[in-house]
Amino acid sequence: MKNKLFVLILGLFLTLPSLASAHNQIPVNHEGHGNPKEDCCDKSNHRHHFMHGDWKAKMAAREGKILAWVDQYTPEKKAEWTQMFSEKKVLMMKWLSPQNVAKREQWKKERMEKMEKYRKQYDAGKITKEEFLKKVHGGKDMGHWQTYHELEKAVSEKNKKDAKKYLNQLLEQYKAHNQMLKDLMAK
């Protein structure tokens, strides 16, 4: 009897802190604000909602890190990088503005229809998993993330040649992303 009571008390002791911390989490919207009234996600998917965090702060920190690396490895391209980042901010603000709600919804709808079409082909065994992923992502892979991680690795290893290469590659990928946003808004 004492052992059962001890196990019960120990179990409660171990679970209460996690329950209390889960209660204190405030959901955030896509803008990074902690206002749950401006909820952007489906209420049934709580886990997705907590993953956003303050993405603007994360992106600003990443931008600062990249600009520091630019100063160190490719100072001749500093102006090009700052122009690209400022253009990116303006484009994102325009894309996320209320004026482009219809375009965002249309883009999302088309993308979801395309994904569903490829999902059915994959489930029927007509395409492989690799083909499915390639088609869903529009033939592009998440190259900018891979490039960023390779850049981080090169910087940590103090490999100037690779750092320059990856900085130039990342700049081109960011410019392509900016162009994609321009094209989406021009539709």
pLDDT in tens, 110-149: 989 999 999 999 999 998 888 888 877 765 555 667 888 8
Mean pLDDT of the chain: 79
pLDDT attached to residue 94? 92
Residue appearing with tokens 């253009």: 87
How much is the pTM?
A: 0.63
Please give the residue that has the higher pLDDT: either 134 or 79: 79
- CA dihedral for 160, 161, 163, 164, sign (positive or negative): positive
Distance CA(151)–CA(130), nearest Å, equals 26
Cα angle value 23/26/30 (rounded, 5°): 145
C-beta atoms surrounding 101 within 10 Å: 10
Give the burial string for 40-74 (b: 16+ CB within 10 Å, else e). Answer: ebeeeeeeebeebeeeeeeeeeeeeebeebbeebb
What average pLDDT does the segment 81-102 reach? 93
pLDDT at 90 over 90: yes
DSSP labels for 141-174? --HHHHHHHHHHHHHHTT-HHHHHHHHHHHHHHH
pLDDT tens digit string along 20-66?
554 444 444 444 444 444 445 454 544 454 555 677 788 889 999 99
Q: Which residues, in sequence order, are CB contacts of 122 under 8 Å at separation 6+? A: 128, 129, 131, 132
Region for residue 155 given its phi and psi (left: phi exceeds 0; alpha: psi -120 to 50; beta: otherwise): alpha
Percent helix, strand and coil across the chain, each rounded to 5?
80, 0, 20
List the Cα angle 116/39/87 in 5-degree steps.
75
> Is the pLDDT higher at 27 or at 91?
91
